[in-house]
Amino acid sequence: MAASAMQLGGQQVIQQRLRQWLRTCLAMVLTATVLAGCQSSAPEPSEPAPEPAATADTTPAPPAPPAEPSAFDENLNPYVPGTTRLLARTFYFAYDRTVISPDDLAALEMHATILRNNRTRSVFIEGHCDERGTREYNLALGERRGDEVRKFLISAGVSPAQIETVSYGEERPEDPGHNEAAWARNRRAIMIYR
Amino acid sequence: MSSSWRLILLWTLTLLAAGFARAEQSLDTIIIDAGYDKQTKIAIVPFQQGPELAHLQPISDIVSFDLARSGQFAPADDENMLSYPRTKEEVFFRDWRILGVEYLVIGNTKTDMLGNLSVDFRLFDVFNEREMVADVVSTSRDKWRDAAHRISDQIFEAVTGIPGAFSTRILYVLALNAGSPDASFRLEMADVDGERARTLFSSNEPIMSASWGPDAKRVAYVSFETGRPAIVLQDVATGARELLTQFSGINGSPAFSPDGQRMAMVLSRDGNPEIYVMNLADRSLRRLTRNQVIDTEPSWSEDGRSIIYTSDRGGRPQIYRQDLSNNIVERLTFQGDYNARARLLPGGKHLVFVHRNNGIFHIAWQDLERDDVRVLTATSLDESPSLAPNGTMLIYATQDQGRGILAVVSIDGRVKYRLPSSAGDVREPAWSPFIEAL
């Protein structure tokens, strides 16, 4: 996973900040401190990375409608670059946590690459929670989860204009069950391409 | 405390009377535990009810069930009564003393050609052979159940000294096919006994956090109908709706101030969930919190001078109180690592809230002066406590066999009843304030 996380989209200049961030994440993977330990990195100083200047200046995707037919399926869902396997679009979180799992960084990095290479595409990120805890608190927690994914993408060079987030809190479970397995499936962020 | 849950009364009222087209949607009210050792014995003699009213549920039944739900009364069974007096002259106190009845209610119902209804009733103290209340409730015939609940309110207050809250209503969310892609949501309003449920709003997108205006004429809630959370105001009588806020991010937790002029809410438009107060006249916003943590679930003190809310500024969600005049913040809860969505009891000295204990969510009560915390509920995944306006009971949401149901518990934890719905999962109840006009 670490290797693929490094396969960054060619022409894009990687910001110093992103490098540092990825390095921190890598370190986390390597030290293999299990999920419980991930909390330590939670309150990163909140300020989202300064947005990489407005989007307009770079060649504004000229009139070439069939952008990259091979990158997406008919439902606009992206493939793992260079394959016909769909890229994971749902990312799960630990109970009460909003930190992205190190296991998801590679896939998220691929999403960032795809979005950087397809500036006309945008993504809608939904944040969700399990049913434990109060509903309004969970609405806030779901927003945090969506925001973590958003921040990752922005720090990886995706334009903020390509990203929208919404929290559904615990209102839209993926699994209607009331047990650990269902709860684990419900704590998630989902990326919906448009 | 008795550990066994006694099923003392199963009262499933399926009202099929004309005019109650949505009766199939009503909540089934089941008393689980009327936990007082000494309940007041009361007899509600069946009221005279003419043939034109014969299809309606007897008023004496509605009143008996109201009083039974309070846990403080044990209404006598009709069949055990030695007589059925209709007038004061027909009352023989000895007949009632033999049965151990402490209070007696008699009454008569009348209607006229214009559809007006009048119910006269009297409450007697049997041991002192004294008439305590004699009154006539007049209204229109379609307010049959309202008339009955008004009588319950008066009886309850005359005997206990506490205003009855049987004429109040509840709001709640009914989720159909919850957890499936074709889930749908309805904002429902019902009498507090679960009857006469009707839909105020329905949507294929989630509905959350319903709350009442102080006059019970307006409600506010969060609707995802636009694809994002928005705060909606709705007039109960006309159904007219207005989208109050649609900022980017969270628009949540609407809470009317006690005077109805302002609304506390949560907005994350500046990047983080914060508590705001909106002046409803000019829609101006005042921001109360400013930090990088989650602040949510505001609720007003009775005097409108302070707001309590949930915040994880200390690392875990706890309840804080902020004075609106000087912004001084005080932490209120200290026991446990998850205390949220608090409501102050009338008088402001006690709090009810969601409390996590060993990973299980319960409703707890706290004495703010003595820091004494008591867990009131024994079910799991308990949430959304909402107080009756007389402060004697609270309604909350819980689960029963994987299904969302509503439940009520008295503030001392001893009386419990449940309100499941056969229509779907029910959640997020909000108990109305006292309702003035009949």
Residues of chain A positioned with their CB less than 8 A from the CB of B224: 168, 171
Taking one residue from A and the other from B, the number of pairs with CB-CB distance under 8 angstroms is 87
Residues of chain A positioned with their CB less than 8 A from the CB of B383: 133-135
Residues of chain A positioned with their CB less than 8 A from the CB of B310: 134, 136-137
CB contact under 8 A, B384 and A173: no
Mean pLDDT lowest among A60-74, A164-178, B80-94, B158-172: A60-74
CB contact under 8 A, A168 and B206: yes
The answer, yes or no, to whether residue B167 has pLDDT greater than 70, is yes
The answer, yes or no, to whether residue B4 has pLDDT greater than 60, is no
**Does residue A34 or residue B228 have the better pLDDT?**
B228
Nearest to B250 among A46, A143, A172 (CB): A143
Domains, chain B, with CATH or none: 38-160 (3.40.50.10070), 170-431 (2.120.10.30)
Per-residue pLDDT reduced to its tens digit, B302-316: 999 999 999 999 999
Exposed, middle or buried: residue B32 (CB in 10 Å: 0-12, 13-18, 19+)?
middle
CB-side neighbour CA atoms (13 Å) of B133: 22
Check residue B357 and give its pLDDT. 87
Per-residue pLDDT reduced to its tens digit, B229-271: 999 999 999 999 999 999 999 999 999 999 999 999 999 999 9
What is the average pLDDT value for chain B, to the nearest integer? Answer: 91
Could you say which DSSP state residue A79 is in?
B
The answer, yes or no, to whether residue B105 has pLDDT greater than 60, is yes
Tokens 């209804």 correspond to what residue? B117
Task: Report, as an integer, the average pLDDT of B4-29.
Answer: 43
Residues of chain B positioned with their CB less than 8 A from the CB of A144: 294
Contact call for residues B272 and A143 (beta carbons, < 8 A): no
Check residue A82 and give its pLDDT. 85
Contact call for residues B209 and B254 (beta carbons, < 8 A): yes
The answer to pTM > 0.95 is: no
Domains, chain A, with CATH or none: 2-6+15-33+70-193 (3.30.1330.60)
Question: Low-confidence residues of chain A, pLDDT below 50?
Answer: 1-19, 22-23, 25-57, 64, 66-68
The answer, yes or no, to whether residue B224 has pLDDT greater than 90, is yes
Q: Summarize chain B as % helix, strand, coil (round to 5).
A: 10, 45, 45
Check residue B329 and give its pLDDT. 98
Per-residue pLDDT reduced to its tens digit, B348-399: 999 999 999 889 999 999 999 998 999 999 888 999 999 999 999 999 999 9
Under the banding of pLDDT at 50, 70 and 90, the label for residue B24 is: low
Q: For residue A162, give the amino acid letter.
A: Q
Check residue A59 and give its pLDDT. 53
- C-alpha separations of A82 from A71, A76, B126, B193, B208 in Å: 8, 16, 89, 62, 43
Give the integer Cα–Cα distance in Å for B239 and B248. 26
- Chain center to CA of B334: 28
Helices and strands counted in chain A (H then E): 5, 4
The answer, yes or no, to whether residue B19 has pLDDT greater than 80, is no
Per-residue pLDDT reduced to its tens digit, B40-50: 999 999 999 88
| Ramachandran sector of residue A115 (left: φ over 0; alpha: ψ -120 to 50; beta: rest) | alpha
Contact call for residues B126 and B96 (beta carbons, < 8 A): yes
- Chain center to CA of B94: 38
Give the integer Cα–Cα distance in Å for A146 and A172. 14
Nearest to B250 among A43, A167, A173 (CB): A167
Closest residue in B to A177 (Cα–Cα): B402
Closest residue in A to B247 (Cα–Cα): A166
Task: Report, as an integer, the average pLDDT of B275-279.
Answer: 98
Task: Report, as an integer, the average pLDDT of B199-206.
Answer: 97
Q: Hey, of A171, A178, A183, which one would you mutate to test binding to chain B, going by the most B CBs within 10 A of its CB?
A: A171
Q: Hey, of B222, B228, B383, B401, which one would you mutate to test binding to chain A, going by the most A CBs within 10 A of its CB?
A: B383
Helix (H, G, I), strand (E, B) or coil at B194: coil
CB contact under 8 A, A178 and B381: yes
Check residue A75 and give its pLDDT. 83
Could you say which DSSP state residue B345 is in?
P
Check residue A14 and give its pLDDT. 41
DSSP string, B387-437: E-TTSSEEEEEEEETTEEEEEEEETTS-EEEEE-BSSSEEEEEEE------
Residues of chain B positioned with their CB less than 8 A from the CB of A46: 271-272, 292
Give the integer Cα–Cα distance in Å for B259 and B27. 31
Sign of CA dihedral B222, B224, B229, B232: negative
Per-residue pLDDT reduced to its tens digit, B108-141: 999 988 889 999 999 999 999 999 999 999 999 9
Nearest to A134 among B249, B354, B402 (CB): B354
- Mind telling me how many Å the CA of B248 is from chain A's nearest CA? 9
- Mind telling me how many Å the CA of B184 is from chain A's nearest CA? 11
Task: Report, as an integer, the average pLDDT of B26-43.
Answer: 82
Give the integer Cα–Cα distance in Å for B267 and B273. 5
Give the integer Cα–Cα distance in Å for B332 and A99. 29
